[in-house]
Chains A and B, each alone.
Chain A
């Protein structure tokens, strides 16, 4: 069955550093990979989408890479701020509905 793993349940980093979150998947060939942010008590909010034929995508301080050979996506937040503290979810999509990972809870410490 399809499996998605996000590298850690929780990640703590200091303000100003780059946060790197990992999403690995097996038994799946997604056409797209999406990253969402979820704050406590709220629904996920879309951040970025990357296609299978794209290596990298950027949006302001966010960068996503997609390696279909390694079956892995990396999500980077540069110059992190306490306001970036949240849970980040990766999700795969293709011919099936979105399949989400468990998420990584990021805490940026001032």
Chain B
């Protein structure tokens, strides 16, 4: 079936604006992950869900970042009062189960630019 999709692919926001980034995981995948990838860096973990439960949000950089997955499928990452340092690519990944050995399938990412 279809892979992980993310929207929008690109987002330009003015500093202080709120943004919402959407992730559609592979159908039937239990686990969903959000990562932040700065230019020239590897992805950095933000948070993950098992079904609708957010099991770890230790990577969220501040309380301006909020993620939800209310029905255990689509997820939204919201950033309030965006700052320039929030500019990055936000990657979503899903996996069939939640286990260290599970392969994660990544979406194409949303490139956020905060001016």
- What residues make up the interface of A, taking CB atoms closer than 8 Å to B? 4, 9, 31-32, 34, 41-46, 49, 51, 89, 91, 93-95, 97-103
Tell me the dominant secondary structure on chain B's binding face: loop
Q: Among the listed B59, B100, B107, B109, which residue makes an inter-chain contact with A93, where contact means beta carbons less than 8 Å apart?
A: B100
Contacts of B41 in A (CB 8 A): 102-103
Chain B: number of interface residues, binned into ranges: 20 to 34
Contacts of B106 in A (CB 8 A): 43-45
Within the complex, the shortest CB–CB distance from B25 to chain A, in Å, comes to: 12
B65 interfacial contact with A, CB 8 Å? no
Given contacts A43-B91, A43-B93, contact A99 B45 (CB under 8 A): yes
Q: Is the CB of A97 within 8 A of B42?
A: no
Contacts of A31 in B (CB 8 A): 100-101
Q: Which residue of A lies closest to B45 (CB)?
A: A97
Q: Which residue of A lies closest to B42 (CB)?
A: A100
Within the complex, the shortest CB–CB distance from A16 to chain B, in Å, comes to: 28
Contacts of A103 in B (CB 8 A): 41-42
